[in-house]
A and B are shown apart, each in its own frame.
Chain A
Amino acid sequence: MTFSPELEKRFTALLTRYPEGRTRSAVIPMLMYAQDETGAITGEVIEEVARRCKVTPLQVDEVVGYYSMLHRKPMGKFHVQVCTNISCLLVGGEELYNHASKTLGIGHKQVTADGQFSLEEVECMGACSWAPAVEINYDFHHHVTPEKLDELIRGLRKSQ
């Protein structure tokens, strides 16, 4: 399995930053970056990461199941994560999530039919003082209102 030259470069660097013989340490970052490129952690990705980090595929599989940001199925081109944890909850996070669900017509961890959007109700993302917060493909959006979210989604739709 080959990745883009940029990713290959990143992987090479990853494998050398840990003490000698500790390539297993690269498993999680490698999965994260691989997922960005492949869209999901497939069996093939698991085998590949295992091979590169010199661990068994099972050891990688165990990790994939554990971390909530690793997905076995592709999410949308724009992955909309809405926080509903306490700080966001108090200022309308849950309402915002419900609004997003209605707007996109999908529920938690679902993907729109055109594959453009996916939605996830997430736990605290560390934006409590600027709540409610939404993260779309690693980009944070703060003080998000339903109107602002609609605008964001419209913008993303147009950007394609």
Chain B
Amino acid sequence: MPFNRIVWKMVKADFRKYLFYFSCNTLAVALFFLYASIFYNADVDREKQFESINYTLAVPGIALIVFIVFFVSQAHQLFIKRRKAEFGLFRTLGMTNRDVSRLLVLENLFVGILSIVAGLLAGVLFSRMFFYLMSKILGIEAVSFGLNSQMFSATIYAYAAVFTVAVCTSLYQILKKNLVDSLKSDRTAEHIALQSPLLGWIGVTVLAGSIIGLYVTYTGPNGGDYLILWTIFAFCGLYFCLSQFSDVVLQAIKRDEKLFYKHILSVSSLDYKFRQLTSTLMLITVMIMITVLYGTMILYTYQDAAQKVEDDHPYDLAFLEADGNNPQELLQEVLGNEVQTHDRLPVFTFAQQDPIAGWMNTYHLVSVEEYSRLTGDSVQLEDDEYVHHINQQLSDPLENYDFTITFPDIEGIEPYQLAETITEQDFNQLGSEFILVNQQEYDELKGKRKGIEGTLHYVNLNDWESSYDPITNLERSFDLTNKGNPSPIDGVRHEQLFHLSSKMEASVINEQTNGISFFVTAFLSVLFLIGSFVILYLNLFSGIEKEKRKFEHLHRIGLTTPEMKKAITTELIPIFFIPSITGITVALLFIIAISTDIGGILQNPEVITYFLIIALLYQSIQLVFYLYARKRMVTELM
């Protein structure tokens, strides 16, 4: 019988074993492809010029690659562990190392190629479905589904590299191992890491220390640079905590004999599983932590930016009209009946050199009566008095800023008395501050210095969100008018004076940048969520035969079905929820530390709200996964 036929016969005989291995590899390819489908997406690619999207893609990208490398090598190790005894037997029967290598390479090549084909197909389907669901659920239209060759080639290269390394490693291990060990490999115990409760406490201290460190240093100079350092420390601490969990917590339970005997089956099994699954649980904890932390941060940025668009645009549209430009007609023409309110503020716009920076600042001189009419604020001014209205909400007290100006900066006129500095965002930003004087001063001053007399238009529409086309047309007309027109004020560009400030445009920009970041993060979060479940599921179910035998024996000596169910439940709950609760807790501590940058968590309760939404969502999905795994486990074991 030719060698290839022997290989094929073995594949057919051990179909289940191969199916498991093939499924893991297909999933790895599909996950790679899903990431590639977002990384090389045309809409996302366009945004890569902005730093934020690269940042959003890079960190989870690295995490995803680490995850997949771990996942593929673990699937491979599980597969090979089951095969080592078989290879040992072949070598006893006289197979040479060359024959064993050929066998291993042939069957892996077969599984690898099939996995690439199936994984790419699954990846395309999942990706299409993901994009559809994401845009439907999150309502983000900024990213649309598309395929390109880069996605396919990057996936194949990345997977092939990881897979080859995994196969070469096990080939080396099998050929190096002596025959007796190979034959016994099915029966040897899993590697048990160094156990010491002291190490566990060191882990807790390192973890707590890194979070406190982050909290203290984050607002300082180069605070962001320390983030990675503290994160690495925190992960090291977390690893020690998890690896020593069984020694610290389970041993504590064991000391209370009554409690221990009550849960003897679950506690003893958990003790073993925690030692065996430390790396897997660590990986899942980190993935959950990154997902929740990132999700909260991006959701906050997205929502905060959306709120900033609202705050920065008290009116739906705003523009300056002066001679030579007649946008009012244009406005009627393009928006027609959409206009709900239309306020006008007569202004005299002039430029004045900034005493410190040296550039030209533009100011709108406004009569206080007109200002009061529009804003509803009652301000009274004497002659030779003025109010400086800084059209923005300041985050720090006014004393921390220097808004000193000389007004009016006209030769032969004594500077006026500053009556008040108002810092409120009452109008859309058009790049100028306001100087308020009484009507008489207004009339006199505008004749004494260079500037343009015009009208500021503030327009609210019936529904700005559905007026995308008219607003874009209006924008285009402004651009056309600005093109090539000389500026009426020296040192100030034409478009700086005559541009349209619209809520729509700001919102679109926000959607384009933060919306894509949010989409990508949500996409990767779902990927991580599914990935973490699959890896846990595979780990739990790869040893199901052994568990089945255990429960069979226990049933023989009189363990009842409800007792078995209880044992399974008590064992699965910590495995599913300790990583998610730990990951979420660490994410919360990181959020609290990082929030010092925006004035502390207490000043920004919405951050906590976003965190709770994401954490609850994650925990609910984890609950569904747990219930599913439990149901399957009960069915398999009984």
Q: Do A and B bind each other?
A: no
